[in-house]
Amino acid sequence: MDLSSALAFALAAHGGQTRKGSSVPYVSHLLQVSGLVLEHAGDAEQACAALLHDVVEDTPVTLAQVAEAFGAGVASIVRDCTDTHEDDAPGTKRPWLERKRRYVAQLAQVPVRSALVVGCDKLHNMRSLVGDLERVGPAVLSRFNAPPEAQRWLHGELLGALNEKVPGHLHAELRALSERYAALTAGHAG
């Protein structure tokens, strides 16, 4: 697997996107997730998929294009990381709760190879979110499409779906971050 090609593809697809509510280039998240995959003993195929994990969900790129460029293995992992339906498009996604319920049900079926990429994605997201909550406070919650109680529900569901599919230390850190998020958002209904 060629990580440089996957990175170039991701950069072209995500263009000038930034992290939610910030000026941080979106590629930062993709690089972080790919690095976490490698740090948790993932292979080059998983690291490539990590660089591309949001390309179908957040850009006009299709799963078929990912498969053509990077093979069925990478495309399969990207599919398992995607919470949108095939007929959704950026800016016209189904409602948050509908997408997340389907995604959680899907995670129960994903193979360990995909679960590692999903877990690393969630780990970086949670590190960023908890860090922002600690630095800035509850104002960061306005960035999200769902209120804190819905996010807490999702965190619990993700922990259950990823249990025993990801390395124990990764799961433990996700659990700790979920607990910290719950503590920081207690009393915030949305």
What integer is the mean pLDDT of 164-175? 97
- Whole-number percent of the chain with pLDDT over 90: 73
pLDDT of residue 142: 87
Q: Cα–Cα distances in Å, from 138 out to 3, 7, 22, 30, 176?
A: 37, 33, 15, 25, 19
Spatial CB neighbours of 38, under 8 Å, sequence gap ≥ 6: 47
In angstroms, how far is the first alpha carbon of the chain from the final one?
A: 43
What integer is the mean pLDDT of 123-131? 96
- Whole-number percent of the chain with pLDDT over 70: 95
pLDDT of residue 92: 72
Half-sphere exposure of 61 (CA within 13 A, CB side): 26
Confidence of residue 38 (pLDDT cuts 50, 70, 90): very high
Q: Domains for the chain: give ranges and CATH numbers.
A: 3-185 (1.10.3210.10)
What b/e sequence results for 14-27 when a residue is b if at least 16 CB atoms lie within 10 Å of its CB, and e otherwise? beeeebbeeeebbb
DSSP codes joined into one string, 25-84: BTHHHHHHHHHHHHHTT--HHHHHHHHHTTHHHHSS--HHHHHHHH-HHHHHHHHHH--S
Confidence of residue 84 (pLDDT cuts 50, 70, 90): confident
Residues 170 and 102: their CA atoms lie apart, in Å, by 23
Beta bridge partners of 25: 18
Confidence of residue 110 (pLDDT cuts 50, 70, 90): very high
What integer is the mean pLDDT of 135-164? 92
Looking at the annotation, which residues are catalytic?
57-58
Burial class (CB in 10 A: 0-12, 13-18, 19+), 51: buried
Amino acid identity at 64 = A
Whole-model pTM?
0.94
pLDDT of residue 88: 63
pLDDT of residue 1: 65
pLDDT of residue 188: 65
How is residue 118 written in tokens?
Answer: 């999903």
pLDDT of residue 93: 74
